């Protein structure tokens, strides 16, 4: 078994493995190129386990930021059906954290219940909360939240899988909205743009309501929708990589690309 860093030349392998493991996800070559190699914060990091010409396992993280501190968003973990239960994904995930711990402050991820449990048990993550599909006030803490520059926002809203609509709702604040497939309504989120220096102050003044998918530390939604309506994944997992004091206080659907 050969362990290699993720490479643009292997996009075809990633497309085949991810669609074999997640056939409903539509993780095609165009989308993976956008996700892995167009992010303004930097290219994907992680490792592949190759057995000859067969991609046995793949672990990928992309750069993200919280309070302006750069971390990693863990997003694509896949093991070929013929190579499962051998601990391969654990080996390449831990090697990813070790290899890039000097460059990134933390790792955050959103996973289904089964995957989250495995990440907590084997990879050192802690479960910090659940994302909720809810109706209510769209305001969220600006401290301990995903930081967005204009360049990152332009990249995010142009996902080849589903584009997001945007509109300004105040100095330094943007409302993003989308309608996930098979959803009867749009979901919305308000995000601050770090370039302006005004977002933290303005977000306290803007009061908007709508359907959203998010997590806020210590907050229980007053109006929470039935579990059967919630999109998956929903579990927030997190770990510091280099002893930094970065703390996550909120997360919303634009902060990752699950739909």
Residue 186: its pLDDT value, please? Answer: 92
Residue 192: its pLDDT value, please? Answer: 87
Cα 64 to Cα 21: distance, rounded to the nearest angstrom: 25
Residue 201: its pLDDT value, please? Answer: 43
- Burial letters for 222-238: b for 16+ Cβ neighbours within 10 Å, e otherwise? eeeeeeeebbebbbbbb
26 and 72 fall within a common domain: yes
141 and 108 fall within a common domain: no
Q: Is residue 120 part of a domain?
A: yes
Q: What is the DSSP string of 111-152?
A: E-HHHHHHHHHHH--EEEEE-EEEEEE----STTSB-B-HHH
236, 131 contact by CB (below 8 A):
yes
122 and 142 fall within a common domain: no
Q: Is residue 254 part of a domain?
A: no
Handedness of CA 16, 115, 71, 258 (dihedral sign): positive
Q: Tell me which residues of the chain have a pLDDT lower than 50.
A: 198-199, 201-202, 204
> Phi, psi at residue 51, to the nearest 5°?
-115, 90
Residue found under tokens 């080996």: 91
37 and 50 fall within a common domain: yes
175 and 56 fall within a common domain: no
Determine the 3-state secondary structure of 99 from DSSP.
helix
User: In whole angstroms, what separates CA 119 from the centre of its chain?
Assistant: 15
CATH number of domain containing 48: 3.40.630.30
* pLDDT tens column, 220-253: 755 555 656 555 558 999 999 987 778 899 999 9
177 and 215 fall within a common domain: yes
pTM: 0.90
Range of the domain at 119: 2-129
């Amino acid at each position: 078994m050969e362990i290699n860093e993720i490479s643009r030349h292997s996009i075809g392998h990633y497309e085949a493995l991810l669609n074999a493991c997640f056939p409903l996800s539509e993780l095609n070559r165009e989308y993976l190129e956008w996700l892995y190699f167009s992010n303004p914060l930097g290219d994907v990091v992680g490792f592949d386990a190759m057995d000859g010409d067969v991609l046995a396992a793949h672990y990928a993280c992309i750069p993200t930021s919280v309070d302006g501190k750069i971390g990693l968003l863990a997003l694509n973990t896949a093991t070929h059906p013929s190579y499962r239960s051998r601990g391969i994904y654990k080996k390449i995930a831990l090697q990813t954290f070790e290899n890039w711990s000097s460059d990134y402050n933390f790792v955050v991820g959103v996973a289904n219940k089964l995957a989250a449990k495995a990440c907590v048990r084997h990879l050192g993550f802690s479960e910090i909360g659940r994302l909720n599909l809810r109706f209510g006030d769209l305001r969220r803490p600006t401290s301990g939240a995903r930081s967005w520059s204009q360049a990152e926002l332009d990249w995010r809203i142009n996902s080849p899988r589903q584009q997001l609509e945007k509109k300004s709702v105040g100095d330094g604040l943007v409302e993003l909205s989308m309608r996930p497939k098979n959803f009867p309504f749009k979901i919305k989120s308000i995000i601050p743009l770090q370039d302006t220096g005004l977002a933290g102050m303005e977000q306290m003044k803007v009061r908007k309501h709508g359907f959203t998918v998010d997590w806020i530390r210590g907050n229980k939604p007053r109006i929470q929708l039935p579990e059967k309506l919630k999109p998956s994944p929903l579990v927030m997992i997190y770990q510091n990589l280099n002893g930094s004091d970065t703390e996550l206080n909120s997360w919303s659907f634009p902060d990752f690309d699950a739909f």
